[in-house]
Structures are given as structure tokens and as C-alpha cells.
A = this chain, B = another copy of it.
């Protein structure tokens, strides 16, 4: 059993690569839900949806979110009705939110709703929300605290960030099966997702950090940072705001206490060797994922590392 901790877009590519290498029943994916948002009265779980659509083969490859080839006729009509329209929900995407909202209203937990939706889409891997409880990322800015979607989508990450907190984290519990998936795993992989707002919320749920520290499985992260730049999104800024160096040094700091191995980009090989002196295995490879082949290659590198069959990039390819 391989267990992955992930957010949305970047992590979804990595999960896609893994899903092509592993039998579905050997893959468990624990997903950030602190970006979840009530939109038009519907419960939207952006990261769960990205992972679900990716594994169902319907994620828009151009956008990295939503359903491939979707239309936005409802959204356009909402705009005409003078409703908020800054968060793009496609017409096909809406179906997922309608089903999830109804399942939750009927008393299902988010983990159950997620399993039901994944089942309808024919997904064999296990997708788990990090928690069935409400944990909400809040971004501290000069304009006051913003919800994550307000910061990320509505204001296009333009605000200077002074800090990040997760409302509800201390009272939250891991979703059923999530801790077991870590302790019983052959390997635990941290996708190249934002360490602060994608993996961070998962770690903020009491139990996950302990389970990661206790598990006998190797814990392997793929760096979301190359040099001083996030592969995508605002990770570098958010790391700086949390006192983490926006580099692989900060990634290691974010995962301190449980990280066994870090896969970094070739250009960070030198910086990586310095970190190894602190008792961490760092391996360099080409971790950029532009094509489907790239996803396979990075997933294969991470798996190989995790299985202690450490190979050079050349051998992996």
C-alpha cells in the first residue's frame, strides 16, 4: 500500500503518475480539504475534485481544475442574475457539488460522499479527505483575513501574506482510515504540493504528524520548490510568510520530524547535499511535470526512492 498526501493541481499530476504505476487497490490518497468552500450554497472541495477528476480521466488538462471540455452556462447566468461569479464552476463540475451537498445534507460524512462519488466515476484508488470536520485555511493580509479561495482565486494571490492559520484544526480528527493508511503503508509520499496551504492543513489535523513520525514506512517528499521558485502557485510567498525559507531548506523545515527522503530538482542537487548532513536523504532528479511522461517519471523516481531502490535519474528513465 502506497499512501500519498496531496493538495490539488500539482499533486494531482503526481497522483496521476502513481496511478499509472500501481494497482488501484494499492493506492490511498489523503487530500487537503481546508480550501473547501461554500459556493452558491453548494459544498465545493477543490482539491478532492481535482484528484477525483484526475483519476477518473476527466480533469481539464488545460486548466488543471474542473472537467475537461466543460461549459460555463450556469456561471454566466449567475453573473446575469448579479450573483458572485468569481469562482469558476463548470456545468458538469456542478453535478459533483450538487451530489456532495445533498449527500452531506442527508447525513453522510465527507469521506463517505467522496467514496460514493469516486465509486460512481469508476475510481479504484481510495481517496480520503484529511478530515470529516471543518478546517478552514485563513490567509492574513493587510486587508484582513481572507478565505483561501478569496486569496487564491478572487484576488489572484496579489495580497502580501502575513501569515496563515487553520480554523478548526485543533478540534478536528483525521478521516476514518487515514492514520491507518499512514501507519500500515509500504511508503508514504508527499506530493509536490504547497507545503503551507496544501500539506500544511493535513499536518494541522491532530494525529497526522505523529503517525508520520511513528510509521515504519519511509516518508518521501517531492519538492514543490525548484531553486527559489514554486513549480506553480503561491507556495514561495506563503512559505516566506510562515517563516519558511522558500527553497528546499524550507520544505525540509516544513516536514521536519518525519521526513526521511526528499526528491529535489537536479538544479538543487548541491543544496540538497548540504541538507543530507542533517541526516536526511536527498536525491536529485528532473521533477518538472509538463507531459504525461514527466508524471510517470517523477512518480517512478519517488516510488523507487521510497522502496529504497534508489536509482539515478538515468536508470529511472
Mark the stretch among A29-37, A69-77, A227-235, A293-301 that contacts chain B: A69-77
- Nearest B residue to A82 by beta-carbon distance? B120
Chain A residues near B (Cβ < 8 Å): 40-42, 67, 70-71, 73-74, 76-78, 80-83, 90-92, 94-96, 98-99, 101-102, 105, 117, 120-121
Find out whether the CB atom of B78 lies under 8 angstroms from the CB atom of A95. Answer: yes
Task: Give complex CA distance A317, B117 in Å.
Answer: 58
CB distance from A83 to the nearest CB of B (A): 6
Question: What are the residues of chain B within 8 A of A71 when measuring CB–CB?
Answer: 71, 73, 91
Partner of A74, one of B80, B91, B120: B91
Task: Give complex CA distance A91, B77 in Å.
Answer: 9
Question: What are the residues of chain B within 8 A of A120 when measuring CB–CB?
Answer: 80-82
A interface, over-half SS: helix
Task: Give complex CA distance A98, B101 in Å.
Answer: 12
Task: Give complex CA distance A70, B74 in Å.
Answer: 9
Find out whether the CB atom of A41 lies under 8 angstroms from the CB atom of B98. Answer: yes
- 19 contacting pairs across A/B (C-beta < 8 A): A40-B98, A41-B101, A41-B102, A70-B73, A71-B71, A71-B73, A73-B73, A73-B92, A74-B92, A74-B95, A77-B96, A78-B95, A80-B120, A80-B121, A81-B95, A81-B117, A81-B120, A81-B121, A94-B94
Find out whether the CB atom of B78 lies under 8 angstroms from the CB atom of A99. Answer: yes
Question: What are the residues of chain B within 8 A of A90 when measuring CB–CB?
Answer: 73
Task: Give complex CA distance A182, B188 in Å.
Answer: 71
CB distance from A104 to the nearest CB of B (A): 10
CB distance from A110 to the nearest CB of B (A): 16
- Nearest B residue to A122 by beta-carbon distance? B80
Known: A77-B95, A83-B98, A94-B94. 7 other contacts (CB 8 A): A42-B98, A67-B77, A71-B73, A73-B92, A80-B121, A81-B117, A91-B91
Task: Give complex CA distance A76, B73 in Å.
Answer: 14
Find out whether the CB atom of B91 lies under 8 angstroms from the CB atom of A78. Answer: no
CB distance from A41 to the nearest CB of B (A): 4
Pairs of residues from A and B, 4 with the lowest C-beta to C-beta distance, nearest first: A77-B95, A73-B91, A91-B91, A41-B102
